[in-house]
């Protein structure tokens, strides 16, 4: 059954690239990152300099790849070129998952300053900031303790 649904998805016909992009954006906005990823990669390959496509493809990679560093280059590229404010949340999340808590905190704070109230609530940015702050304290404590033992 699962196999048949995947085949149906991969053979979905679109009247135009515009229709396909609308569908890919809907999947992305519905947080169906696994389904959106191949289409976002296709649109990124057509315009590698697009901050929007780098943001969306990088976000899909964040949720679909076990290598959490892989998405950083796409999200950093988008953030440096002023993609929409959500890029800062997802870049923060990528840093967070890579134990780069100081960088994550910077990005979460940027998102908190620039993002809409709706997205700040949806993504629970304050909770992520608390988690990073705690993680940073634990890493600093571990480093201090390791130095003391040496």
Domain that holds residue 24: 17-83
Q: Distance between CA 78 and CA 71 in Å, rounded? A: 11
Which two structure tokens, joined as six digits, stand for 92?
């923060």
Whole-structure pTM value? 0.86
Is residue 7 in some structural domain? Answer: no
Report the domain count for the chain: 2
Flag whether 44 is in a domain: yes
- Reported as a single tens digit per residue, the pLDDT across 58-114 is 999 999 999 999 999 999 999 999 889 999 999 999 999 999 999 999 999 999 999
Residue at 3 is within a domain: no
75 and 93 share one domain = no
Distant-in-sequence, close-in-space partners of 136: CB < 8 Å, separation ≥ 6: 101, 102, 105
Higher pLDDT among residues 35 and 9, named by residue: 35
Instruction: Among 67, 83, 99, identify where a domain stops.
Output: 83
Question: Cα torsion at 17, 22, 23, 27 (round to 10°)?
Answer: 140
In a domain, 9, yes or no: no
Which position has the token pair 């999340």? 93
**Same domain flag for 74 and 133:** no
Residue 5 belongs to a domain: no
């Amino acid at each position: 059954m699962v196999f048949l649904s995947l085949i149906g998805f991969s053979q979905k016909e679109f009247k135009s690239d515009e229709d396909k992009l609308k569908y890919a954006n809907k999947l992305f906005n519905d947080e169906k990152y696994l389904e959106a990823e191949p289409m976002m990669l296709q649109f990124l390959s057509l315009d590698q300099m697009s901050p929007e496509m780098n943001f969306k493809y990088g976000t899909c990679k964040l949720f679909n790849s076990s290598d959490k560093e892989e998405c950083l280059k796409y999200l950093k590229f988008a953030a440096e070129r002023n993609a929409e404010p959500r890029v800062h949340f997802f870049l923060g999340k990528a840093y967070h998952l890579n134990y780069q808590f100081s960088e994550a905190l910077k990005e979460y704070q940027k998102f908190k300053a620039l993002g809409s109230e709706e997205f700040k609530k949806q993504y629970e940015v304050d909770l992520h900031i608390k988690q990073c702050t705690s993680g940073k304290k634990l890493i600093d404590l571990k480093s201090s303790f390791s130095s003391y033992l040496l």
